[in-house]
């Protein structure tokens, strides 16, 4: 296996999930992949988390090791020529507070990153739960993603929605020429909570476009918190 392009510890992952009409996602599905449906429904997730001890090719970048990320993603699969089914994510938009990180991700992967002011407030332990909030500003507008959990985190049961949402080990990105880049994401299975409270506030039409505004304006169909772990993102390669 190749040396990881990026390593970090992803912590306090807050995932709010929404059912969306498949036609809103089909134009964004990378070539060679297909929508991955949960019990017949296409889902998108707004995900906030902390990146800590971030390294590129093993080298820590000064002032760029710890920061927030918030992204909007959906789910696809690809069957390799050998018959392996790879469950993966595709990103609609990714936000970080570090301009250099956003630039590297756009150049190396053609990922839809933007740099915006961000903040967080986390009071969470795996044993007792707690609260997580991620805030950011974009275009002069304020946004916040918040979740509250109670009790101890536990591993998702096989076949549950929380497993479907959290257990993806591949990513696909449409390239400028219409091709597709595939990259592997390594991490152990995460302990999670189902949330007692979960909210997304702000003008999502301006942030993500009108095709998602109606969906994201309502309450999520499900919401989870994941403790997180060490993560390795490998260098991408084009698929046929």
Got the DSSP string for 105-136? HHHHH---EEE--EEEEEEEETTTEEEEEEEE
Query: Nearest to residue 89, comparing CAs of 156, 178, 187?
Result: 187
Q: What distance in Å separates the CA atoms of residue 97 and residue 117, rounded to the nearest whole number?
A: 5
Task: Write out the residue range of the structural domain in which residue 56 sits.
Answer: 4-238
Alpha helices by DSSP H, listed for 26-180, are: 99-109, 161-166
**Which pair of structure tokens corresponds to residue 76?**
């696809």
How many domains is the chain built from?
1
Give the per-residue pLDDT at 107: 73
98 and 115 in contact (C-beta within 8 Å)? yes
pLDDT in tens, 47-85: 999 999 888 766 667 556 799 999 999 999 999 999 999
Q: Which residues of 98-131 are buried (b: 16+ CB within 10 A; e: fewer)?
A: beebbebbeebbbbbbeebebebeeebeeeebbb
Query: Nearest to residue 16, comparing CAs of 227, 223, 165?
Result: 223
CATH number for position 217: 2.40.400.10
Rounded to an integer, the average pLDDT of 192-209 is: 92
pLDDT at residue 3 greater than cutoff 90 = no
Distance between the two ends of the chain, CA-based, in angstroms?
Answer: 19
Give the per-residue pLDDT at 57: 64
pLDDT band for 30, please (50, 70, 90 cuts): very high
Q: The whole model's pTM is what?
A: 0.93
């Amino acid at each position: 296996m190749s040396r990881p392009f990026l390593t970090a510890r992803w912590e306090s992952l807050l995932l709010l999930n929404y059912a969306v009409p498949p036609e809103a996602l089909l134009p964004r599905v990378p070539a060679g992949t297909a929508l991955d449906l949960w019990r017949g429904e296409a889902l998108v997730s707004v995900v906030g988390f902390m990146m800590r001890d971030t390294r590129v090719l093993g080298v820590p970048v000064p002032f760029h090791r710890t920061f927030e990320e918030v992204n909007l993603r959906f789910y696809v699969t690809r069957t390799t020529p050998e018959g392996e089914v790879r469950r993966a994510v595709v990103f609609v938009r990714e936000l970080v507070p570090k301009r250099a990180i956003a630039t590297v991700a756009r150049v190396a992967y053609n990922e839809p990153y933007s740099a915006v002011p961000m903040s967080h407030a986390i009071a969470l332990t795996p044993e007792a739960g707690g609260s997580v909030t991620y805030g950011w500003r974009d275009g002069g507008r304020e946004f916040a993603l918040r979740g509250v959990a109670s009790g101890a985190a536990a591993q998702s049961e096989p076949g549950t929605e929380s497993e479907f949402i959290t257990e993806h080990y591949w990513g696909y990105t449409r390239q400028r020429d219409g091709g597709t880049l595939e990259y592997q994401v390594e991490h152990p299975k995460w302990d999670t909570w189902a949330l007692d409270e979960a909210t997304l506030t702000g003008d999502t039409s301006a942030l993500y476009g009108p095709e998602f505004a109606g969906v994201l304006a309502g309450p999520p169909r499900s919401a989870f918190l994941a403790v997180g772990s060490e993560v390795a993102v490998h260098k991408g390669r084009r698929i046929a």
